[in-house]
């Protein structure tokens, strides 16, 4: 069975308690359950990971690139959190590992502080889902399944 890797970056382990007016009341466990359920509906296995450490995220992206090249993985859904706005390393990892990646943000980053308006990830991403709440994860998984042969 093909797989999709869902990667959540820094502070997403605080979902449900961190700024619920912005990010909602769903926890990371709720998001992971939603992702696995959506994957099951579409016939793909979904693996979820979260780290607050940039280098770990880079390692996971490179690992996903190897899995994609081997035909075992369709792609990656990634909510890079604050690294969206700071990490050239994540951009380079996505490009260097040739990863089909959907960038995802729970909130509409373009309606927030100006420093959140720039993404280093977007130019390397296949697509972007912004501001759809945690339902965006299901949309991103659907997108990867639709894009797998393109």
59 belongs to an annotated ligand binding site: no
The answer for residues whose C-beta is within 8 angstroms of residue 7's C-beta and 6 or more apart is 49, 50, 51, 57, 60, 61, 76, 77, 78, 79, 80
Establish whether 53 is a catalytic residue.
no
Establish whether 23 is a catalytic residue.
yes
107 belongs to an annotated ligand binding site: yes
11 belongs to an annotated ligand binding site: no
79 belongs to an annotated ligand binding site: yes
Q: Indicate which residue of 83, 105, 120, 137 is catalytic.
A: 105
53 belongs to an annotated ligand binding site: no
119 belongs to an annotated ligand binding site: no
- Which residues are known binding-site members for substrate? 79, 85, 92, 106-107, 116
- Which residues are known binding-site members? 79, 85, 92, 106-107, 116
Active site residues: 23, 105
């Amino acid at each position: 069975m093909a797989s999709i890797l869902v990667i959540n970056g820094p502070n997403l382990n605080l979902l449900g308690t961190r700024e619920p007016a912005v990010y909602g009341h769903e926890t990371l466990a709720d998001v992971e359950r939603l992702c696995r359920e959506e994957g099951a509906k579409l016939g793909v296995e979904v693996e979820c990971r979260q780290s607050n450490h940039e280098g770990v995220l880079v390692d996971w992206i490179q690992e996903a690139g190897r899995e994609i090249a081997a035909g075992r993985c369709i792609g990656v859904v990634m909510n890079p959190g604050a690294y969206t706005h700071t990490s050239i390393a994540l951009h380079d990892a996505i490009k260097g590992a040739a990863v089909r990646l959907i960038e995802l943000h729970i909130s509409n980053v373009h309606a927030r502080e100006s420093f959140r308006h720039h993404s280093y990830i977007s130019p390397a991403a296949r697509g972007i889902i912004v501001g759809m709440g945690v339902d965006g994860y299901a949309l991103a998984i659907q997108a990867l399944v639709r894009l797998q042969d393109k």
